[in-house]
Amino acid sequence: QYPGHKGDFVNITILPKPSDNDIQVDKEVWNGSNWADYVEVSNNEIIHFRVKVYNLNPFYNLWFCGEIYDVFPDNLMYIPRSVGNVSINGEPVSPDMVEAMKDSEEINGNVVTWQRIPEPIPPLGVLNFTFDARADGCGLGVNNLTAVGYFNLLVNVPVEDSDDATIFIPCEGKMDVKKEVYNGSEWVDNVSVNVGDELWFKINVTNSGNINLTNVTVVDVLPNFLTYTDHANIAPCSFGEHKIMWNLGTLLAQESKIIIFSANATCSGEGDNLANASSDEEVYANDTAHIIVISPTCLNVTKKANVAEAYIGYLVNYTIWVNNTGENPLYDVWANDTTLGISRYIGMLSVGESFRFYVKHRITDTDQDPFVNSIVVEGHDRCGVRYMDGDTAIVDILYPDLAVEKYVKRDCTSPFKKNVTAYVGDQVTFKIYVNNTGEIPLDINIKDVLPDDIVYIHNSTNHSDVFEKSGNILYWNFTNVANDSSLEITFRATVTGCGELVNHVYSTGRYSCDSEIVACNDTIAIVWIPCNPGIEVDKKIWNGNEWVDNLYGDMTGKQVTFNITVKNIGNLNLQNVIVEDTLGPCCIGEPSNYSIEPSYIKLPYIYWNFTSLDRNEIIYVEFNATVECPYAVNRVDVTADSMEGAVYDNDSVEISNPLLAYSPHFYNFGKMQQGQTDFTTLQIWNSGSGTLSYKTSEDCDWVTVTPESGISFGEYDTITISVNTTGLDEGLYVCNIHIVSNGGSGNFTISVNVTSSSQLLPLLSFSPTSYDFCSIEQNQTVSTTFEIWNSGMGVLDYTLSENCGWINISPTSGTSNGEHDTITVIVNTTGLSKGLHTCNININSNGGNGTFEVSVYVTEPWSKYPNVTITKPLDAIYFRDVDIAPFLLPVIVGKITIEANATDSDGTIERVEFIVDNVSRYNDTTEPYSWLWNEKIFGFHTITVVAYDNDGRSTEVSRNVLIFNFHIL
């Protein structure tokens, strides 16, 4: 401050530049009691990891943009979608965010990348999450996780940190043997059979360790009452009547082999069938199945009641006969009346012997109707095998019963239902059905309890002579209502409130000659009075004649008029109504001539605030604006509050200039026989902007077009045109297929020369004639296709065959009238040695023969591939290469620099290739990897970035973008 001058001071704080020191990653593994850096586990065990990412910067938020990845060692396998316990600063994130993180998983070999991370981490905050992996192998493995973040998304300078956890899996040999016998429906540990039966045994030998076992020998020892039948799914290396031996060779870690064989039960007896397995590594295991062989035995019981029907209080007498109908004596025979809780010890029953005894029961009002009395007998043969039988005696109980049903309907609306929807002020009618479903007359009392918001209408019931009312409770009293008869009661009421209104009814019945009361269950009828707020917004644009949803044509530089109609479509008044109009990013401007002045404007947003909007009330807003791009979208959002919560709606209009483009314009099918079919295709696309809507039509009954209509944002749609010469005379036929759209019209012309069905022969054609898969790793599956067709006349019948076990063909036969059949060839390199392998696929047909040759060079598996990510563009709006706002997808106006990050854990990056719509556009060999994309182009397109390392391996990523580039310098 100088003498004679007035002034002030400004405080300026300069924040330090973020660096890699501002991010910290802690990677830990659960050891059973706490989180640690090292853990020792068993093979196949599930391992839990915890990750903490710290923002150590006290000033900036930490962003990720999909840059957290984990590199797993060879002895660990990540469990997909196992992410959990996601929190920021100890506060769990929303379930939707957790699901989004799981959905964003990208698994590339042994590298897992999460592309959607909860963000940002606030200053001095921490992101926490867990995931799981499975131990798969043995030895020492290091699991490393790297987090790459950004403290300023516009500067786009990454910071990163890594941490790892170490896992050790001991190498151990272990083998399990499971011996089972088939009981006729399932495999079990023990079974009882008769002499002469054939038994089937199963031995399941499993290498449950994590090392291979060699020279695995299995020995099965049968008891002396079983004899081997020489039936086995795996041929034994030696066998006798009671001992069988198999040599299974090498059993890989976690591999299982099953031996199934049979034996005959030659005599009665009981014993264990022993199976054991051993290997050269001194690993041993065994198991047994228990077998009992007996002669046929049978136990039978019969129970009879002296009556079929009884009243409450009647004494029912039962007679029980127990019979030994088998061929062996039975011991320790018991008879148990499970209903009455009565048991009788019978002891021994000789062959053909019977035993009879009696029980009784008095019917009570708690007995089930009908009353089912069950008897169960059991005994054992000399081997201790248990035999059982049972029987029941059924008595029908005659007693009173009562049923009630309650229904409701809204007046003038049928039918009656258990619940209806009405509105305040409506009248509803209730109906009560009371049924005497018993076998004696009853005095019946009905009590109906109305909710507070339903009011009875005076004199509206149909049984006023027996009706009484006390407050909101209604009563009806009926006397001597005959059995098997019904009562129908109706009354009306008025709805005075909203919500779920539940009407209860209770019914009791009394014997006419007894004081006992019978009560039936409560029943209800529900009247639902919805309190539903609702709002609707409709956005239109004036086309010179009427209001429309979309405006077509080149409107660049022209002024257009928009209309917004907001309506309260609910049954509640609304408050705090906010209308937000979004003019469109950089494509609609200079708004003016408002029919209702906005509350405030913050371009590209215009806001109108209304205090209230009553039921069925409508607000109209109109204004003008200037179109500044060939393609623009104008969107309006409306929100409002109500006593039932907030309501929302939105609508939009589109301004575009679509242009119809298609190719080819003509196709000649050449000569075709009568009765022959063929097809061709054409492509339709939008060479302009916006959405092209098109339809096709033709008046030739021998032509079929599929599909007949569609839309295009710029992508190419394939249209199939099929012809069928059945019923056509000889000669030349021409057909015009008309294409009409909102971007112009055109014709696609086809012609065909129809010839008679003479003795013309088929001719085999196929293409290509060979395919080289080049280098493929072991244990991989790849495929290719080739086409077979009839280039002659008539019908071509063909078959395909090969004698290579690593190839699969689909289909293996077919026919062709001229159409092209696609043949799929699948190659599986599992089990193939390293080196060159070739195979001939033979094609035999009635139009000649041919050979399709397949070759593949098999290499060892490779697990380390380069990593690549697209760092620009992201999900945002870009104007002339500058990120101006986040968005649902990349939207680009003007030029754009495509940027990528590529790394290789075991070598170097040779080059990064930039591809647009499957066309290579640029290769960059030095970091940072980027390419300036600047050409005249519109619509949706796909950017693909491929990273190549010094081992010849490659990894690619893609991203769909919406671009509008007029190539203005």
Quick: pLDDT tens for 629-656: 888 888 999 999 988 889 999 999 988 8
Q: Is 552 exposed, middle or buried (0-12, 13-18, 19+ CB in 10 A)?
A: buried
Pick from 166, 161, 163, 165: nearest CA to 67 = 161
Confidence tier at 272 by pLDDT (50, 70, 90):
very high
Confidence tier at 758 by pLDDT (50, 70, 90):
low
Specify the pLDDT at position 153: 58
Q: Is 28 or 506 the better-scoring residue by pLDDT? A: 28
Which range, 430-444, 505-519, 763-777, has the best average confidence (pLDDT)? 763-777
Report how far residue 17's alpha carbon sits from residue 22's, in angstroms, rounded to the nearest whole number.
Answer: 10
Q: Is the Cβ–Cβ distance between 308 and 397 less than 8 Å?
A: no
Lowest-confidence pick of 270-284, 439-453, 684-698 = 439-453
Specify the pLDDT at position 863: 63
Residue 221 β-bridge partners:
243, 274
For range 507-528, the mean pLDDT: 63
For range 774-786, the mean pLDDT: 89
Pick from 689, 618, 688, 620: nearest CA to 654 = 689
Lowest-confidence pick of 289-303, 463-477, 739-753 = 289-303
Amino acid identity at 41: V
How far, in Å, are 39, 318, 361 from residue 356 at the CA level?
Answer: 71, 11, 18
Helix (H) or strand (E) holding 667: strand 666-673
3-class SS at 778? coil
Residue 411 β-bridge partners:
none
For range 867-873, the mean pLDDT: 95
Tokens of 733: 């036929």
Q: pLDDT, tens digit, for every residue of 86-111?
A: 999 999 999 999 999 999 899 999 99
Lowest-confidence pick of 118-122, 346-350, 894-898 = 118-122
Whether 861 has a pLDDT exceeding 70, the answer reads: yes
Whether 468 has a pLDDT exceeding 70, the answer reads: yes
Q: In what order do the strands lie in the sheet with 243-251?
A: 190-194, 284-294, 269-278, 213-221, 243-251, 238-239
Q: Is the Cβ–Cβ distance between 628 and 596 less than 8 Å?
A: no
3-class SS at 99? helix
Share of the chain above pLDDT 90, in %: 55
CA 940 to chain centre: 28
Report how far residue 390's alpha carbon sits from residue 299's, in angstroms, rounded to the nearest whole number.
Answer: 9
Q: Is 761 or 244 the better-scoring residue by pLDDT? A: 244
Lowest-confidence pick of 363-367, 585-589, 734-738, 954-958 = 585-589
Report how far residue 52's alpha carbon sits from residue 167's, in angstroms, rounded to the nearest whole number.
Answer: 19
Q: pLDDT, tens digit, for every residue of 392-431?
A: 999 988 777 888 888 888 877 778 888 888 777 788 898 8
DSSP 642: -
For range 62-78, the mean pLDDT: 86
Report how far residue 686's alpha carbon sits from residue 602's, in angstroms, rounded to the nearest whole number.
Answer: 34
Q: Which residues contact 429 (CB under 8 A, 6 or more apart)?
A: 408, 409, 411, 416, 490, 491, 492
Pick from 326, 236, 219, 224: nearest CA to 265 = 224
Q: What's the mean per-residue pLDDT of the chain?
A: 88
Report how far residue 750's alpha carbon sits from residue 873's, in angstroms, rounded to the nearest whole number.
Answer: 44
Residue 525 β-bridge partners:
503
Report how far residue 700's alpha carbon sits from residue 692's, in angstroms, rounded to the nearest whole number.
Answer: 26
The CB density around residue 872, as the number of other CB atoms within 10 Å, is: 19
Q: Is 586 or 553 the better-scoring residue by pLDDT? A: 553
Q: Is the Cβ–Cβ distance between 623 and 644 less than 8 Å?
A: no
Amino acid identity at 745: S
For range 749-763, the mean pLDDT: 78
Residue with tokens 């590594």: 281
Tokens of 420: 């209806």
Q: Is 908 or 584 the better-scoring residue by pLDDT? A: 908
Phi, psi (degrees; rounded to nearest 5) at 81: 60, 30
Pick from 636, 610, 632, 639: nearest CA to 623 = 636
Q: Compute the C-alpha angle 907/910/916, nearest 5°.
A: 130
Lowest-confidence pick of 49-58, 402-411, 545-554, 755-764 = 755-764
Helix (H) or strand (E) holding 95: helix 95-103
Which range, 46-55, 66-75, 156-165, has the best average confidence (pLDDT)? 46-55
Q: Is the Cβ–Cβ distance between 49 and 72 less than 8 Å?
A: no
Confidence tier at 437 by pLDDT (50, 70, 90):
confident
Pick from 69, 169, 168, 47: nearest CA to 117 = 69
Whether 943 has a pLDDT exceeding 80, the answer reads: yes
Confidence tier at 2 by pLDDT (50, 70, 90):
very low
Q: pLDDT, tens digit, for every residue of 115-143?
A: 888 878 999 999 999 999 999 888 899 99
pTM recorded for the entire structure: 0.33
Q: Is the Cβ–Cβ distance between 574 and 647 less than 8 Å?
A: yes
Q: pLDDT, tens digit, for every residue of 480-492?
A: 888 888 899 999 9
Q: Compute the C-alpha angle 787/789/790, nearest 5°.
A: 165
Report how far residue 427's alpha carbon sits from residue 425's, in angstroms, rounded to the nearest whole number.
Answer: 7
Whether 786 has a pLDDT exceeding 80, the answer reads: yes
Amino acid identity at 390: G
Specify the pLDDT at position 210: 80
Confidence tier at 540 by pLDDT (50, 70, 90):
very high
3-class SS at 466? helix
Domains in the chain, CATH or no CATH each: 20-169 (2.60.40.740), 175-294 (2.60.40.740), 299-398 (2.60.40.10), 402-519 (2.60.40.1170), 535-656 (2.60.40.1530), 660-755 (2.60.40.10), 764-859 (2.60.40.10), 867-965 (2.60.40.10)
Q: Which residues contact 232 (CB under 8 A, 6 or more apart)?
A: 244, 259, 260, 261, 262
Amino acid identity at 197: D
Report how far residue 189's alpha carbon sits from residue 896's, in angstroms, rounded to the nearest whole number.
Answer: 71
Specify the pLDDT at position 675: 85
